[in-house]
Amino acid sequence: MLLICSLIANVGILAIFKYFNFLNENITLVADSLGWHNHIPFLTMLLPIGLSFHTFQAMSYTIEVYRGNQKAEKHFGIYSLYVMFYPQLVAGPIERPQNILHQFHIKHEFSYFNLVSGLKQMAYGLFKKLVVADRLSIYVNSVYNNPELHNGSSVVISSIFFAVQIYCDFSGYSDIAIGSARTMGFELMTNFRRPYFSKTIPEFWSKWHISLSTWFRDYLYIPLGGNRVAAHRRYFNLFIVFMISGLWHGANYTFILWGALHGFYQVVGLITKPYVSKFETNAGIQNNIIWRLSRGLLTFSLVTFAWIFFRANSIHDAFTLIGNLRSFGEAPFLGNGINQFAHCLLALTLLFSIEYCMEYYPEFTLFNNRRIWVRWGSVVALLFIILVFGVFNGGQFIYFQF
Amino acid sequence: MRSNDFIKFGKSLVIFIIVMVTVDYVIGFSLEKLYFSLKRGQFAQTTFSIDSTNQDVIIFGSSRALHHYSSPIMAEKLGTNLYNAGRDGQFIPYYCALQDAILKRKIPKLIILDVNVWEIAPNDEKYEKLSMLLPYIHNHPEFLKYIKEISEWEHIKLFSKTYPYNSTVFVSLHDFLFSESLPKDDNGYFPLDRTMSLSDFNNYKAKKIIYDDKREKMKVPFDTKAIEYYDYFLKQVDSLGIPTYVVISPTILKEPSTKEKLLIERMAKSHKYVRFLDYSSDPEYNNQYQKFADEFHLNTQGATEFSYEISDYINNDKTSFK
């Protein structure tokens, strides 16, 4: 009973702040179409910063205590710190009590290693945000804010750019959050593991926004029956979980459609999985580099296509952009903005090189190299790359709005 | 352990700061030398506009000014020397900064300010373009108020010698290495030789109808800051008695009488030494895609015609300022 009350209170706060006006807007639309008048007033409250994140974190505490996986916290101050721990307050990672709560009870000594390692991770997060995400956003915004003025070439380029932008924006914030917590001796969970190197959509979701996807897995998908139900029920559950995940991002049909599209990908992936595996075995191409590359490219393309709905300002804009894919030509502003594109290409090349090494050659490390001049040189170089090539326009992190 | 870590961190921090300041100075100094050694290209032109223009007639504006006013034609027709200080992607605060820099050394005899309606509509990104002024801040402290429009922390970032050259490296290197192959401006004027195709024009026309309709429905507010700068520009020329023409130069499609256009006109007309000219409804240019290089800019043919036309107008109108 207490669990239900707690969940209702948490979801209720989220619903009022985030979804009330969306629901009211839809009621108004339906009422107008029926010739009625909707008298329910719209709310004009500011959305508390990071509401979706700390509400989910609070809910995970309640559920884990209820399940007996976590002892109830008796100290209100420590519980508050768990919900509002500032490095991850506004955009996660959405922590679990088992991972973080006990750390608040331990005395944290000053540690040179933690401080330096945390600062390095923050610097890499800043690189992702200022050099890559904010640079790519210039072109992305020019296309997505004026979809009717652009052709297929600019839609393709800007959508690929947005795929990288949102990764760098969000994982960059996570790096800063994890790094700043580490400077104080706290270890937060990993939130991203280079998701664009994934070969399948499920693999992508095991590497993208891990704290949220595991939250939905543990607290929604598994309680709905998880993998232990009939196939059709499992497909339905997956679809619903991804739709709700879309809705979590914001009260807009664009997010719902984005979630639904990923749900659809998951279901199709599950249905076709036995056939694909059989084909791979028969053809003996499981480890064939071209096959693996093709699967990676297909996954990236599907994810990028779904991002169109996520980034578009409205469903109408999303379909306008997709419609524009029929006409290809010179991308508007591409010719005039060679300087921008040189910066974008540099940013993408640097990012890809670093992430590729991290993914496939984890033993090769610059920032933690045994040689001091490599270690120092790479950090200084990173900071000057930020200073010389970064975009310092104070652009907000995309996930702050959620 | 704890005190050892503190000492280790303290030492590393001191060394790190020394390394950062040294590298910052070396990179900043190199980029400064590169930037101010450029002879052609937009950076070189900006440097000339800010530090060296002393012509009697100065044209201010964005890329539409840069490509629409032929300096040689207008200089000949007006019988004076003239410089086109139009700059790609810029808007009113940049013209004000440029005006401040020019007025420090010379009072022009005539000013043409080319504006367009988008300049006083809000756009979060347009103030960032004022970063073009950053390399000049040490010689032009009057630019600080414009630079603070980029962000309130901008003056702090300027402690770095490298920061003013942020995002300039590729253009600087390109303009330095390929200087000879860059088109040479004619007293600031850059003609556009290409011509828009009929299909591009029709595409644009279709999209513009949707775009205008969307804007109308959105009820976009004014950018009050840009309006304040526009007012500052007009008051400055008026107080110095400089005859000034505020011009909306030709557009490929007739621009509707938006509230932005009406405000630009009303403010210009409220000053004694300022005249307002609107060519955005001129049938000589509207729908004449052969006179345009793209949807926003006249090509050489269009700019030539327009330069003759506006020069004739100014010659006939000169006495109205007396």
User: Is B61 part of any domain?
Assistant: yes
Mean pLDDT of B100-109: 90
CATH number at residue B281: 3.40.50.1110
Whether residues A328 and A209 fall in one domain: yes
User: Is A393 part of any domain?
Assistant: no
Least confident of A182-186, A337-341, B40-44, B162-166: A337-341
Whether residues A144 and A209 fall in one domain: yes
User: Is B176 part of any domain?
Assistant: no
- Start-to-end CA distance of chain B, whole Å, equals 84
Flag whether pLDDT at A166 surpasses 80: yes
Residues A97 and A64: beta-carbon distance below 8 Å:
yes
Q: Which residue of A has its CA nearest to B18?
A: A380
Residues A90 and A59: beta-carbon distance below 8 Å:
no
User: Is A391 part of any domain?
Assistant: no
Residues A387, B24: C-beta atoms closer than 8 Å = yes
pLDDT score for A261: 94
**How many CB atoms are closer than 10 A to CB A233?**
12
From chain B, pick out residues whose CB is under 8 angstroms from the CB of A383. Answer: 20
User: Is B97 part of any domain?
Assistant: yes
Mean pLDDT of A211-230: 89
pLDDT score for B274: 92
Give CA–CA dist A86/B190, Å, rounded.
Answer: 53
Mean pLDDT of A381-401: 76
User: Minimal Cα–Cα distance from A389 to chain B, Å?
Assistant: 5
Number of A to B CB contacts under 8 A, please give it. 66
From chain B, pick out residues whose CB is under 8 angstroms from the CB of A112. Answer: 5, 8-9, 12
Domain final position from A75, A105, A135: A105
User: Is B252 part of any domain?
Assistant: yes
Whether residues A148 and A96 fall in one domain: no
The model's confidence at residue A331, banded by pLDDT at 50, 70 and 90, is low
Calculated CA dihedral for residues B96, B98, B103, B108, nearest 10 degrees: -100
User: Is A70 part of any domain?
Assistant: yes
Domain residue limits at B273: 56-130+185-321
Residues B12, A116: C-beta atoms closer than 8 Å = yes
The model's confidence at residue A395, banded by pLDDT at 50, 70 and 90, is low
Give CA–CA dist B49/A62, Å, rounded.
Answer: 65
**B207 interfacial to chain A (CB closer than 8 Å):** yes
Whether residues A148 and A227 fall in one domain: yes
Whether residues A44 and A123 fall in one domain: no
User: Is B180 part of any domain?
Assistant: no
Flag whether pLDDT at B84 surpasses 50: yes
Does the ipTM exceed 0.90? no
Selected for mutation to probe chain A from B1, B2, B3, B5 (highest A CB count within 10 Å) is B5
Flag whether pLDDT at A385 surpasses 90: yes
Residues B41 and B182: beta-carbon distance below 8 Å:
yes
Whether residues A70 and A207 fall in one domain: no
Whether residues A13 and A145 fall in one domain: no
User: Is A399 part of any domain?
Assistant: no
Whether residues A278 and A348 fall in one domain: yes
Residues A93-127 pLDDT 10s: 888 888 888 898 888 888 889 999 999 999 999 99
Whether residues A101 and A118 fall in one domain: no
Residues of A acting as catalytic residues: 249
Domain final position from A58, A88, A105: A105
Residues A238 and A220: beta-carbon distance below 8 Å:
no
User: Is A383 part of any domain?
Assistant: no
User: Is A188 part of any domain?
Assistant: yes
User: Is A42 part of any domain?
Assistant: yes
User: Minimal Cα–Cα distance from A152 to chain B, Å?
Assistant: 13
Average pLDDT, chain B: 88
The model's confidence at residue A133, banded by pLDDT at 50, 70 and 90, is very high
Strands (E), B148-250: 244-248
pLDDT score for B320: 63
Query: Who's near B201: CB < 8 A, 6+ residues apart?
Result: B252, B287, B289, B292, B295
Domain final position from A77, A105, A133: A105
The model's confidence at residue A332, banded by pLDDT at 50, 70 and 90, is low
The residue with greater pLDDT, A334 or B263, is B263
pLDDT score for B235: 94
User: Is B201 part of any domain?
Assistant: yes
Residues A136-151 pLDDT 10s: 988 898 888 888 777 8
Flag whether pLDDT at B74 surpasses 80: yes
B221-255: string of b/e by CB count within 10 Å (b at 16+)? Answer: eebeebbebbeebbebbeeeebbbbbbbbbbbbeb
pLDDT score for A90: 74
Q: Which residue of B has its CA nearest to A109?
A: B2
Whether residues A162 and A86 fall in one domain: no
Whether residues A119 and A71 fall in one domain: no
Structural domains of chain A, count: 2
User: Is A375 part of any domain?
Assistant: no
Domain residue limits at A265: 114-358
Flag whether pLDDT at B266 surpasses 50: yes
Percent above pLDDT 90 for chain B = 45
**B170 interfacial to chain A (CB closer than 8 Å):** yes
User: Minimal Cα–Cα distance from B261 to chain A, Å?
Assistant: 21
Give every strand in the sheet of B244-248, ordered side by side: B82-84, B57-60, B110-114, B244-248, B274-278
Whether residues A95 and A143 fall in one domain: no
Q: Counting every residue, how long is chain B?
A: 322
Structural domains of chain B, count: 1
